[in-house]
Amino acid sequence: MELTQLRRQFPALMQQVNGQSPLFLDGPGGSQVPQSVLSAMSAYLGYFNSNLGGAFFSSDKTVALMDDARQAVADFLNAPSKEQIVFGANMTSLTFSFSRAISRDWQAGDEVIVTNADHYSNVSSWRLAAEDKGASVLAARINEQDCTLDLAHFKSLLNENTKLVALTYASNTTGSINDIKQVVELAHQVGALVYVDAVHYAPHELIDVQALDCDFLACSAYKFFGPHVGIVYGKREHLEGFTPYKVEPAKDVIPGRWETGTQSFEGLAGVIAAIDYIASLSGMTQDTPRRERLAVAFAKTKQHEMKLSEYFLTRLEQLPQISLFGIADKSRLSERTPTFALTFEGFEPRQVSEFLGKQHICVWDGNFYAQGLCEQLGVMDKGGVVRIGCMHYNTVEELENLFMAFEQLLSA
């Protein structure tokens, strides 16, 4: 699909703000949403708003919708079964819930490994659970030159007392991608479970939970062009074996035993539409299995995002007043997402984002809940970093405008 045609599907990208077209370079904080997702959510709420288990048409529609949403996500993640997909309010709430169940049998002497690359939804959840049980939490460092996991340090922490490893697939701050498959293999050698935070990774590359062999993987639909719905994949033996905190009358079967309260059914309609939107980027007909279409679509968007990253890094080399945290080597573009963590000589991160915001260039500043990362990099008490995050709907022309703004700021 041609990029201009693709962008027309996003109302936010077509709007004018004070006579200007805004630049949305804030994707890591939440992507923009195509019209197909908005329409799907509105249609469900407008005609079928109901709950599960009723003896009438709109409840039947809701039951079918939830089933379709599980299948769509199973295709998205390559889960063996739709019964291994759990929905919730957001990834953080789900992770706290899972941490309580997984840690029920932990005791003093048990250990958990988190990493300094992680969003603290995948750190605090486990630290608090471990604290309740007298277990210890160890943090694996990152390689500061490229902000990837320090694998040697991780290996030094791993032992027979390790019960769980929690880590991110890709940093929501620097875009650096971790070798999850290798971590899973190492963790399983000592009998540890692995809980993967794929929130930042999910909109950028195809996920295959079976190939990774991870025990759990969490993501959020609002990062991949959908609404605010949290998602967790779990291996069947874990979803059936661990005991969740649940309402007594609720059925004790997977995946529902893990889902507390009424779900956002309109959100699930949006999840289906978001995944189908991504699949449509393949250009293939709908009679092709969804997983195949997703694979082709992600291969296409990856190539476009790598071009954006190459342009960004090339232009950045011309501005020595700006420092980059993360992978800067253009021969390693496949190892990062188009997300860039920057600091500016002579300017606090908030000053930069405010300057850009006045020109309707949307970027984020701060620590993005990646506290361990910002502490190790020494920017936690300096306002964090400026984060520029591209999605497949962004263009080189938008980055040209961004760098023109950078040059204006630095020359002021």
Question: pLDDT by residue (tens digit) across 55-111?
Answer: 999 999 999 999 999 999 999 999 999 999 999 999 999 999 999 999 999 999 999
**Residue 284 domain flag:** no
* 403 in the same domain as 367: yes
Mean pLDDT, residues 356-376: 97
* 297 in the same domain as 257: no
* 52 in the same domain as 199: yes
**Residue 285 domain flag:** no
- As a whole number of angstroms, the distance between CA 340 and CA 326 comes to 7
* 168 in the same domain as 223: yes
Per-residue DSSP letter, 178:
P
CATH code of the domain covering residue 46: 3.40.640.10
**Residue 268 domain flag:** yes
pLDDT for the residue numbered 338: 98
CATH code of the domain covering residue 369: 3.90.1150.10
* 187 in the same domain as 90: yes
Cα separation values, 309 from 6, 212, 301, 303, 342, Å: 19, 26, 12, 10, 14
Judge whether residue 412 has pLDDT over 90. Answer: no
pLDDT for the residue numbered 174: 98
Confidence at 1, pLDDT banded by 50, 70, 90: confident
Half-sphere exposure of 207 (CA within 13 A, CB side): 32
* 328 in the same domain as 221: no
Give the chain's length: 412
Query: Tens digits of per-residue pLDDT, 227-246?
Result: 999 999 999 999 999 999 99
Mean pLDDT, residues 211-222: 98
* 164 in the same domain as 48: yes
Query: Tens digits of per-residue pLDDT, 168-185?
Result: 999 999 999 999 999 999
Mean pLDDT over the full length of the chain: 97
- As a whole number of angstroms, the distance between CA 130 and CA 126 comes to 6
* 181 in the same domain as 44: yes
* 99 in the same domain as 46: yes
Contact criterion met (CB below 8 Å) for 64 and 39:
no
pLDDT for the residue numbered 45: 98
Residue 109 belongs to domain spanning:
39-277
pLDDT for the residue numbered 402: 98
Which of 256, 277, 298 delimits the end of a domain?
A: 277
Number of domains in the chain: 2
What percentage of the chain reaches a pLDDT higher than 70?
Answer: 100
> Whole-structure pTM over 0.95, yes or no?
yes
pLDDT for the residue numbered 167: 98
Confidence at 196, pLDDT banded by 50, 70, 90: very high
Mean pLDDT, residues 346-367: 98
